[in-house]
């Protein structure tokens, strides 16, 4: 990515000074953003001090009083403008996502499209923040429930979706009448700055307070500040299970609210009734897309023994066709891992697979030579394993696909799938209606997402996104996920001239 393209996004990398609200703050500490595509530094971004953090929160507290009094459809108009601006900047922002994070350019464009889609969804929701009317047991009374803004929503995001997850949270939180404070991953700071500038310009042109949307730069310490801060009623955190536990415990200590989107250990079940062509396509994309760095990436393929060898052979052949290289070059299917630490975790996982008795079918390793100078490019791996191997029970954020055999009925495969600590995404490949319905029943998949004849990777905006167990239980995006960002209130109105008391108590004056 050229300097000219960075400037197109209006990223003010120098002389941005200290200011409040929709800008960011500086002190002597900095984050170096480097591209995993070539290992070259892009820019240094200065971090937020605690004094500056306090100023951000105070600006947000002021802004929330103004923003929540604006009618919801008018708040939706601001999000509509954000969606339109994202459409305009989609090619360049998609390229920045690809360059700074390392996912393919097509995936970068797809991530920006998710931002546009959630804006469209949120605009509609801004006219539907509805409650229920409830019949009262007392004559002459009316009951209903309604939803009010929480106030300030803290958003902590991960590197793998550096812009979409912020949009999922911000678009809904803002139309619900909240203001947002964002702590992005320190691995992708420029993507965050770009998004913040886009929204800041919209707020400014509509003469709205900057503190409606704020950006904090720094390491995990800033996430701790947010988590401990009772002025921030809700923390939405996306990342590892380890990080989520820390956030959950810290926020729970002050009886705050959390929305957690954490690790996944996603499986595709392949039954004898599966369409094998669809199966191979879904498994390969799910395992190697974003270099295996999606929370919904396919980690395990649970295959019936009657078709196991056929699936194995087809997969090995398909992996020979995968092209790995510069994600901005559309001829390549897979780009790099995010950094050298991720590469080391990948290598450690390969060692553990062998130590624990697994068999490597498609060998991995770090790629070297022209185009791979960053040291972050690796080969995708297929390994035959047992589901109980400790390494299989963990989530490795890398392109490693585990092949697991099952026999008997589909219930055995479901039991294997569910026998991990995580519960995000799942899928079954079958043309048998009964197998599909068992998989989707209360005795089937225990994941927040359960698909039939599509892979585990990816999700539509219209459905709630999230998972169970160590995935955290949170729900973002579609359906009625907007309710997470609001406080629920039950209202009872007495329009009679008497006051009936609870439990039939009589009290006369």
Beta-strand (E) ranges in 348-424? Answer: 359-362, 381-384, 400-406, 422-423
With a CB cutoff of 8 Å and minimum separation 6, the contacts of 48 are: 24, 25, 27, 56, 216, 217, 218, 222
**57: closest CA among 228, 258, 250, 246?**
228
Question: For 418-443, what is each residue's pLDDT tens digit?
Answer: 999 999 999 999 999 999 999 999 99
pTM of the entire predicted model:
0.94
Fold of 3-10+20-262+472-489: Aldehyde Dehydrogenase; Chain A, domain 1 (3.40.605)
Going across the sheet that includes 179-183, the strands are: 213-215, 179-183, 152-156, 234-238, 257-261
Closest by CA to 348, choosing from 285, 411, 300, 400, is: 400
Q: Give me the pLDDT at residue 505, please.
A: 73
pLDDT at 501: 77
- Sequence length of the chain is 509
CA dist., res. 337 & res. 333, Å (int): 13
- Alpha-carbon distance of 499 to 509, in angstroms, equals 12
> So what's the pLDDT on residue 2?
54
Domain ranges of the chain: 3-10+20-262+472-489, 266-452
What are the pLDDT digits (tens) for 362-401?
A: 999 999 999 999 999 999 999 999 999 999 999 999 999 9
pLDDT of residue 307: 98
The catalytic site residues sit at 261
Instruction: Give me the pLDDT at residue 24, please.
Output: 37
The count of C-alpha atoms lying within 13 angstroms of the C-alpha of 248, restricted to the half-sphere facing its C-beta, is 17
CA neighbor of 195 nearest in space, from 57, 90, 321, 290: 90
The domain 266-452 having CATH identifier 3.40.309.10: the answer here is: yes
> Crossing angle of helices 189-205/72-101, nearest 10°?
150
DSSP H or E run through 158: none
Mean pLDDT of 186-209: 98
User: pLDDT-based confidence at 458, cuts 50/70/90?
Assistant: confident
With the C-alpha atoms ordered 117, 122, 127, 128, is the resulting torsion angle positive or negative? Answer: positive
Beta bridge partners of 152: 179
% of residues, the chain, pLDDT over 70 = 94
User: Residue 27 — very low, low, confident or very high, per pLDDT cuts 50/70/90?
Assistant: very low
Q: Is the pLDDT assigned to residue 26 strictly greater than 90?
A: no
- CA nearest to 428, candidates 305, 302, 259: 302
DSSP per-residue codes, 217-245: -SSHHHHHHHHH-TT--EEEEES-HHHHH
| CB-based contact 328:1 (threshold 8 Å) | yes
């Amino acid at each position: 990515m050229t300097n000219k393209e960075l400037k197109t996004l209006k990223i003010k990398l120098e002389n941005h000074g200290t200011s409040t609200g929709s800008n960011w703050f500086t002190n002597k500490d900095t984050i170096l953003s480097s591209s995993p595509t070539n290992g070259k530094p892009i820019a240094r971004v200065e971090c937020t001090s605690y004094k500056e953090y306090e100023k951000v929160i105070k600006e947000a507290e002021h802004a929330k009083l103004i923003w929540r009094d604006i009618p919801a459809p008018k708040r939706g108009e601001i999000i509509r403008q954000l969606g339109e601006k994202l459409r305009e900047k989609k090619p360049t922002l998609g390229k920045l996502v690809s360059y700074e994070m390392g996912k393919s350019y097509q995936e970068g464009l797809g991530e920006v499209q998710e931002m546009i889609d959630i804006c469209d969804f949120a605009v509609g929701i801004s006219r539907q923040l509805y409650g229920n009317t409830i019949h009262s047991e007392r004559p002459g009374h009316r009951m209903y429930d309604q939803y009010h803004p929480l106030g300030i929503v803290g958003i902590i995001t991960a590197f793998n979706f550096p812009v979409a997850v912020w949009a999922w949270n911000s678009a809904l939180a803002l139309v619900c009448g909240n203001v947002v404070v964002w702590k992005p991953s320190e691995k992708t700071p420029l993507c965050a700055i770009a998004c913040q500038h886009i929204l800041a310009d919209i707020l400014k042109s509509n003469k709205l307070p900057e503190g409606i949307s704020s950006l904090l730069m720094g390491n995990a310490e800033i996430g701790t500040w947010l988590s401990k801060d009772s002025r921030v009623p809700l923390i939405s955190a996306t990342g590892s299970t380890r990080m989520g536990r820390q956030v959950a415990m810290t926020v729970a200590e002050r009886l705050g609210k959390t929305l957690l989107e954490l690790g996944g250990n996603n499986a595709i079940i392949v039954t004898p009734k599966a369409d094998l062509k669809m199966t191979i396509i879904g498994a390969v994309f799910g395992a190697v897309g974003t270099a295996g760095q999606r929370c919904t990436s396919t980690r395990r393929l649970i295959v019936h023994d009657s078709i196991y060898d056929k699936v194995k052979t087809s997969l090995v052949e398909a992996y020979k066709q995968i092209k790995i290289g510069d994600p901005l070059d559309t001829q390549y299917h897979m780009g790099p891992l995010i950094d050298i630490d991720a590469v080391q975790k990948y290598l450690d996982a390969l060692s553990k697979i062998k130590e624990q008795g697994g068999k490597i079918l498609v060998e991995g390793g770090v790629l070297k030579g022209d185009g791979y100078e960053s040291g972050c490019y690796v080969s995708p791996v297929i390994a035959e394993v047992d589901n109980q191997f400790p390494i299989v029970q963990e989530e490795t954020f890398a392109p490693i696909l585990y092949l697991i055999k099952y026999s008997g009925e589909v219930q055995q495969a479901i039991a294997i799938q569910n026998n991990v600590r995580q519960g995000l995404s799942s899928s079954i490949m079958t043309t048998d209606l009964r197998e599909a319905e068992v998989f989707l029943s209360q005795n089937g998949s225990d994941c927040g997402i359960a698909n039939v004849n599509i892979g585990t990777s990816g999700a539509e905006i219209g459905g709630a996104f999230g998972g169970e167990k160590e995935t955290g239980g949170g729900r973002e995006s579609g359906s009625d996920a907007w309710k997470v960002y609001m406080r629920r209130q039950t209202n009872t109105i007495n329009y009679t001239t008497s006051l009936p008391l609870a439990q039939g108590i009589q009290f006369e004056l």
